[in-house]
Structure 1
């Protein structure tokens, strides 16, 4: 085996490798190549020497510091297959286009490490970044802010402009709807552990249940997907409650499908509420009651906040903008059964 053939099979050198070699943060490496004027000479030399030793090559289309902005904004989502992000992006894209900007979509695949690496790879190309339901730590986001303006969506971050739905009001409306129907025991199907939105939804549901004297159970964390709903449903069957609120619509739909296969009726045995008002929520049987954020408005306000940051870099804003959230009542909730959830028949589980 030749050295050349072995080198071809080696993993491509990234800015993370250079950062470790030079003993600096990845964002510093990015600045050293994309904005060399913002890195001191000694650090810059150390980074370039480390890059040369490792064989790191900079993307030739990286823009120099003196070149005007690219009018390109990065829009980062946790999962591109989740339809709610498409609605947020539409609002973002429309507002960005009205101000002469183009949008680059990045899918982080629900993985904070992937998210950081993808963002670092495009920092030299974009004028700003919108982080939608980011799985990054606050410290990782702070490193990105040192390089380019950032706006947070579906997450409140101290020191950054943040666009968040009125989770407290929306989730309380869901709990109150179940309480008004006579439900006393509710299960919350939690989302990803790293999700800021999940924490906010859980706190809102907990506070509402406490205020109304309802018993609350939590299942999770779960993957925010149909499969995550299947998994949560199996756990729910061990100690069933008459009311269920899921982290999002997709998980709620997976839950409904699984409990229906197990012989439970929705809503006769168990009432189910999702979050997001995705297109899937009206395609289920029964149609899904959901807590609906103003997705297009969220996207538009995020784009506006990011563009404002670009225009006023000397006086950055850290405003938190709260957008409406409302309950849309459909067929998936009803009064609880008198003797609790009882399956009428057992069907094979969906594997």
Structure 2
């Protein structure tokens, strides 16, 4: 038994009494079709069960119905939630989602944007490593939205680490710590700078001393050198740039026989999967990273819609909170 014949654009055109090109424009570029004619075409198409080919519509409209998300390190669990949230929002909108990673390189990030520009309608840049100037320059030609990065004039979705970093300082001060050291991530990281500024301001407010060391690779492998530097600093509390670095620090302390938290406390950022599995379980700053991914794609979709572009928010800010576990304790006497 043969399958029913698929309704084509020519079937709709013949039934509606218009040219096939008019039917095509009614779907792909409705502003170029008289409103009455368009309503008539859509009514006929609905009755005949016609559905336009997405690829053909994209080619005719100049849009691809595809977006790309760029992340610095695809192996970092911190980005899993952001990626998941972005992909789900894109899927709900019927948008194809491309994921690429830039290996912590600003040059790679820029080259990938330029290479993919003709294939996608816009980019979500997660924790971008590019300079403000380069980002603004690219935004003049491409549709960009940032996640956990801010550049003046560009839309972004940010988990607010400022108040969260103050929570870290308050927690450590309540345990009697008078000194902390921030073991920083990559020097191109906007988050590293934001976290350090908030930690330093909070420490000054509490009469604590604070120092910044690094940069260190934001991975477990960077924990060895970071831990050794922390011990030399003499601080009683360590705040790592992210949880992967913090887990590497815990491992190095264990190798050297340094007891956590009896001799030194350790705090991370991001609350990645596994942060509560390490020994001791890691105190860390958590945030709604999946929601940040969803919000970024929503901003991108709104920017691509002429009717919504003027009212689209420029910045979405999400709150973070401290998750207290076993890696922090009273300051040693």
Smaller-chain TM-score bracket: 0.7 to 0.9
The count of aligned residue pairs is: 277
2:330 matched to 1:335?
A: yes
Q: Please identify runs of 4+ aligned residues in structure 1 that moved more than 3 A.
A: 63-68, 313-318
Q: By how many angstroms is 1:264 displaced?
A: 0.4
The residue aligned with 1:260 is: 254
2:123 matched to 1:129?
A: yes
2:154 matched to 1:141?
A: no
The residue aligned with 1:232 is: 226
1:130 aligns to what SS in structure 2? Answer: strand
2:275 aligns to what SS in structure 1? Answer: helix
CA distance in 2, matches of 1:296, 1:174: 22
Calculate the TM-score normalised by the size of structure 2. 0.80
CA distance in 1, matches of 2:86, 2:162: 24
The residue aligned with 1:83 is: 77
Return closer, same or farther for 1:284/1:223 CA change in 2, 3 Å cut-off.
same
Q: Deviations over 1:292-343 (max 9, x none)?
A: 01111111111111111111386485612110100000111110111xxxxx
CA distance in 2, matches of 1:166, 1:260: 32
1:86 aligns to what SS in structure 2? Answer: helix
CA distance in 1, matches of 2:230, 2:109: 32
Q: Matches of residues 53-72 of structure 1 in structure 2 within 5 Å?
A: 66-72=60-66
Q: By how many angstroms is 1:233 displaced?
A: 0.9
**Over alpha carbons, which structure has the higher Rg?**
2
Q: Is the 8 A contact 1:161 1:317 kept in 2?
A: no
Equivalent of 1:322, from 317, 323, 329? 317
Q: Is the 8 A contact 1:287 1:332 kept in 2?
A: yes
Q: Is the 8 A contact 1:78 1:109 kept in 2?
A: yes
The residue aligned with 1:191 is: 185
Calculate the TM-score normalised by the size of structure 1. 0.76
Q: By how many angstroms is 1:137 displaced?
A: 1.5
Q: By how many angstroms is 1:248 displaced?
A: 0.4
Unaligned runs of 5+ in 1: 1-60, 339-351
Q: Is the 8 A contact 1:163 1:322 kept in 2?
A: yes
Q: By how many angstroms is 1:286 displaced?
A: 0.6
2:275 matched to 1:286?
A: no
Q: Deviations over 1:246-297 (max 9, x none)?
A: 1100011111111121110111111111000001211200110100011111
